[in-house]
Structure 1
């Protein structure tokens, strides 16, 4: 696996903890240059320093980057930085995510916070990095989604759930949107449920989970160019399975693209 990733650049969002951190470790150990995204510069740098200290990874293969996904202008700034320094980005791992809060919360951009952090930021970042991702042969996007997308419905007329809010429904909606987005024809993308892992989101699923490193392994396998992928495919850990039927409907893909474009358009 190391030979296939050697010299390739991979951006992992949410790389300061959990699956993202372990994915960054595994990718760097296999020779990739890993762009480690964190919410703040200090968090990103601390995560990179920790990997160097605990894994002996050459610090030159880790590039800490920061953007707070509750602010879409920071997502745009992150994309500009990546496009300048890595115009042939091989893979974007949209891993950053959060549980929806107990109380209904809107970002400064006016979006329900879980929808923005878990989906809209990934949507915007992917589109802004489209040229870099398509410059590299075999370039791809891996969306770290969730089996909870099967329980979800996108509230087209009230995506921010202003009328009726449930934190679980808001989280599930964001994961369904991320899964649908893998079928967007503009880039080659897949989505993956990495298993129920012992991370900050474990409480949404139950009390026990696999390790974050095990979950990261399923993500890293899809990053590897030796793994052939089909645009829109959905993986439950290491098995390619059918997602929720709505996730691959052409009408739904187009409708979600139109909605997402509307919700991120005011950033410029």
Structure 2
């Protein structure tokens, strides 16, 4: 798919692989909409993207992805400002410390930002993506999903010992379940729904993590890859390189990779879908999936 003239929405586009993704999309003359939390950082990144790409069709929508209300407001703002959406890249993510924190909505913070946010945003904008000639939904997951210790009745670790790292691993597993279930539900449409592992990226990711995890990140820096390499698979799935009509897969290094056994469990994917719909109070009967 040629990206010139296509409209792309990228969450967390003001730093790390999100910014690199936005830059490369802009270089290919796509319209880029940056969904960011911090206005000052977003505007600084927007100016940099314009300077590097020469593309002035770069826009900002402010949204704190920990807030369901702000996600709804952001989706409404998107609809007011734009009439189409070709590519949605759910890139933003966090890893928290070892103190369990809840959002204003009462959700565990990592679960809220890394899973419920892309779930809600995607479904609120799904009809626009379905009207695209070849709509693509891309969610950044992680190989960390393989290490998730989870209980389907306690995905937010309310009743189990809390670990920020395990909460992150669970959320990345949820990204794959969400991708596979959405792909199954939209299998009769032209939508392409996939997720990916970007690699271990040398970025500011993990700034809110525990001291022990930050120390591990510092020690691991010599083995980390650049933001440019980290964005490569996202850009592959967004651009003309990726084969069309491939949906419901997990990618690594621009290739389909088999995720964990748990990630391939259809019953878990279906259960997560129902739980997410109940938690977000989305009226799924109003969402056109076919």
What are the residue-to-residue correspondences of 1:140-155 with 2, within 5 Å? 140-155=136-151
> How many correspondences in the alignment?
264
For structure 1, the residue ranges without an aligned partner over 5 or more in a row are none
In 2 relative to 1, CA 237–226 (structure 1 residues): closer, same or farther, beyond 3 Å? Answer: closer
| 2:215 maps to 1:217 | no
| 2:184 maps to 1:169 | no
Output one character per residue of 1:79-112: Cα deviation in whole Å (capped at 9) or x when no partner: 1122233332011000000112221100001000
Provide TM-score, normalisation by structure 2.
0.85
Tell me the residue number matched to 1:192: 196
3-state SS of 1:234 partner: strand
Tell me the residue number matched to 2:102: 106
Output one character per residue of 1:133-163: Cα deviation in whole Å (capped at 9) or x when no partner: 1000110101011000111144322222122
Among 229, 249, 252, the alignment partner of 2:265 is 249
Contact 1:9–1:35 under 8 Å retained in 2: yes
Q: Which moves more between the two structures, 244-253 or 174-183?
A: 244-253
In 2 relative to 1, CA 171–13 (structure 1 residues): closer, same or farther, beyond 3 Å? Answer: same
In 2 relative to 1, CA 225–77 (structure 1 residues): closer, same or farther, beyond 3 Å? Answer: farther
3-state SS of 1:156 partner: coil
Output one character per residue of 1:12-62: Cα deviation in whole Å (capped at 9) or x when no partner: 000010000000000000111110111033332221012223x14222x21
Contact 2:87–2:137 under 8 Å retained in 1: yes
Provide TM-score, normalisation by structure 1.
0.92
For structure 2, the residue ranges without an aligned partner over 5 or more in a row are 207-213, 285-290
Quick one: distance in 2 between partners of 1:105 and 1:24?
A: 30
What are the residue-to-residue correspondences of 1:47-58 with 2, within 5 Å? 47-53=45-51, 55-58=52-55
